[in-house]
Structure 1
């Protein structure tokens, strides 16, 4: 946090010393408010370069949540394991899901710093000021965006750069289109709902992306080093096909068509690709550090796990009772999302259709993911996701909207599982843009978990699975500001 203050003071001092520095004169920048909705990838504009300029922005949200969680776990559970030497009985007492109050949750807050450094060249720094999984402010990412190569020579490759953009840095990687309509910590104004996709593709890795968009063509090719937390340490596996190896790069690609056919109709269709041949963990499904959109969902109260062992004749050998703590804490909660937990390798395809006719818009997601079961093996399993949003925007400036969304995911959590699990969700939302930078929305959610096992891991261990027959539903009122 101290470093952020120093950086901000330095920027202000620079402005005071150099009168030629301006504020807000940024080229090719997508609005962080209402005007940025349905603007994907990158964009070009004709804004004139007027020297060094500083950009300062922010995003904040505040949620009032009224939801309830349920599952099929009995108040007390008993598991029995019999071996040649005797019997082990594990009894669960005091287990129940935690109640949640109808109350406000921790607001999210972001800050954005940027600078127009040269004609067609700007730098961006995205900062999480307050988020669920960190007590301190920290940097989400920073990158350089190049829309012209005039710093090499005036009009260098001008015919190419008229349609091309280069992004370099530690940044939110552009896989698919769904993340452009999702919530990102305090920045929730682009999301017509409160929750993101159940299996949410989001990561920030060190890399480069090159775009070429022309006459409806949408294209992007990117590469990252595959690391969420940067490190040059060796990755070492003691068994399997990748013994004593290092991370492989992640490959990203997008190809599609996006055209405003007439005043009323816009059509967009993109296909995206992600692949990493050798990784420690699939960051793409586990890197959303700002957390799930709903708080305190499907968390258990503390309970007691009593283990009684008897010999083959039924005589009690030992009895041990341990306190199992709640899985809830104020700083971090187990996310009620779906993470396939791919390791060693992962490949994902995403198809996103988008149609907007006057105030009516449809957005869809087809996501087909596969990956290795665990580090050191090449066993393959899959997880498939489907989502559809239908939103109607109305009013003189489309300042109001009504929307519905259905989302379902199905896949095995590990190769050893006998069958797949399924999670599905329905959301309905109504929103009002009070201004282009202020949005109030009321959201209803109903999410269900199917075919989850009763216990986590070995049933003999007797650790209840909160997602067994799990579901939650309720209302969330969210107010968000972005500028």
Structure 2
């Protein structure tokens, strides 16, 4: 089905070429995929490119890593018989230096009318799926001349409306992360430990006026649509307020606060929506699992990350300061999430709280800032989900744990479309039970990544 969908999409693209111009040039009200997209958050309201009929912009991305990581733990052995052999389920997967699976993106942006743009991103290859599949697609409206209303035209000078299956606009860190093969906006190789990134179906309105920013969204609250279990499904509401201004030639200041909340969900994925997978392949993953199924980079695609498991109800808040003074950049991510998952089909007995701190310091060198050095500190702490052997068994509270990561790296923009970067990363796991494979866990080593986006 996925191959059929891709084939139909290509045929549609070829048929469009008869009446639409296919281009690699920029489209209005869009964020560039190359180096020019650095430190661009919401798209600008500047009407800088004239509309000259339907245009289809083809773009893409490619990313390849070389991994040199080692990991270890102190977990108590958990022995199980498998195929006549006794295996330790808490033994880590043996790993060595080598190349990770390359990732690739296909980007389609279409200027459908003056101020109306379609965006469609397809993951051609990812850690979780080796075959092509669609990340999401949406329509963005920055002009509404089809309504023939001077009042609406005036309002649309400050408003942007997005409708579709899209990356939600919670916080600012999702603008600086690696999105499968699209990695030029991330100064590091890995994303945050608790990665607030997902796609949901809904609508978003953005107001921008003299540096002030307000965002309001309503979505279905899940990564896919659904009509079953209506008593469990509730909408998600997303809001953001902020200020972003270039105070003078040298200094830019941005500060935003965001909230995401839903009263219920079959399976919310605010912290589990990165279906492309992490950059750190098989770290802290087992050599064997209880089912006997082989452990692969695809089956264990979130290595090095943690999902707090707040899959039912959740309220998350994050504050993101960003300061750029000449070549020096400081970005912060101060986040708290409260909520519940489900336990044997019922709500967990009480809310659990997770906190995350992330601080990025980047210094870009040279007149064109083609070189940079960077450092990041990231810490996550919270309470793991409770466990229960059965519906009538006592509930066992989850452990209070923490994970901290330090990353130091450097990068070189060979051209505006090509980035090579290197990173040293060290991550430690604290507070996990002796029977948990992550007990006393740690990994460290180097990563090298080459990325292309156009």
Q: What's the TM-score, normalizing by structure 1?
A: 0.85
Q: Which residue, 189, 197, 200 being the options, matches 1:194?
A: 189
* Count of aligned positions: 432
Would the aligned equivalents of 1:327 and 1:334 in 2 still touch at CA under 8 Å?
Answer: no
The aligned counterpart of 2:238 is 252
Quick one: structure 1 residues 135 and 77, their matched pair in 2 at CA, closer, same or farther if it must change by over 3 Å? closer
The 8 Å contact of residues 241 and 256 in structure 2, kept in 1 or not, is answered as yes
**d(CA) in 2 for partners of 1:93, 1:21:** 59
Which residue pairs with 1:39 in the alignment?
A: 40
Residue 403 of structure 1: aligned partner: 374
2:100 counterpart residue number: 105
Cα distance change of structure 1 residues 396 and 417 upon mapping to structure 2, 3 Å threshold: same
Q: CA deviation at 1:291?
A: 0.8
Question: Given that residues 118 and 151 in structure 1 are in contact (C-alpha distance below 8 angstroms), is that contact kept between their aligned partners in structure 2?
Answer: no
1:195 shift after superposition: 1.0
Residue 335 of structure 2 aligns with which residue?
A: 367
Matching residue of 2:275:
289
Determine the structure 2 residue equivalent to 1:71.
73
- 1:204-215 matched pairs, under 5 angstroms: 204-215=199-210
After TM superposition, give the deviation of residue 98 of structure 1 in Å: 1.9
Match of residue 21 from structure 2: 21
Note the aligned Cα RMSD (angstroms): 2.0
Q: Is the 8 A contact 1:299 1:334 kept in 2?
A: no
1:143-182 Cα distance to aligned partner (Å, 9 max, x none): 0000001011164522211111000000111100011111
Are residues 1:387 and 2:358 paired?
A: yes
Distance 1:50-1:452 versus aligned 2 partners, 3 A rule: same
Deviation of the 1:338 alpha carbon = 1.5
- 1:420 corresponds to 2:400: yes
Could you say which residue in structure 1 is the equivalent of 2:8? 6
| Equivalent residue in structure 2 for 1:50, among 39, 49, 52 | 52
Q: Where does the alignment leave 5 or more consecutive residues of structure 2 unmatched?
A: 81-85, 387-395
Q: Secondary structure at the match of 1:35?
A: helix
Secondary structure of residue in 2 paired with 1:157:
helix
Deviations 1:80-121 (CA, angstroms, capped at 9, x unpaired): xxxxxxxxxxx9658632221211100111101121011101
Using the TM superposition, give the Cα deviation of residue 278 of structure 1 relative to its aligned residue in structure 2, in angstroms.
Answer: 1.0
The equivalent residue for 2:220 is 225
Other structure's SS at 1:213 match = strand
Checking the alignment, whether the CA contact within 8 Å between 2:87 and 2:288 is kept in structure 1 is no
Question: Deviation at 1:122?
Answer: 1.0
Among 433, 441, 444, the residue aligned to 1:470: 441
8 Å Cα contact 1:300/1:327 also seen in 2? no
| Cα distance, 1:333 vs structure 2 | 1.2
Partner of 2:145: helix, strand, or coil? coil
Contact 1:221/1:254, CA 8 A, preserved across alignment: yes
8 A Cα contact 1:25 1:54, kept in partner: no
Query: In the aligned structure 2, how far is the partner of 1:354 from the partner of 1:327?
Result: 43
Q: Is the 8 A contact 2:282 2:297 kept in 1?
A: no
Matched-pair contact (CA < 8 Å) for 1:212–1:220: yes
Distance in 2 of aligned mates of 1:123 and 1:413: 40
**Residues 262-313 of structure 1, C-alpha deviation per residue, up to 9 Å, x if partnerless?**
000000000000000011223101111011121011122238xxxxxxxxxx
- Cα distance in 2 for residues equivalent to 1:206 and 1:92: 43
Match of 2:346 among 368, 373, 376: 376
- Cα 1:362–1:166 change in 2 (3 A) is same
Q: Name stretches of at least 5 consecutive residues in structure 1 with no aligned partner.
A: 80-90, 236-244, 304-322, 456-464
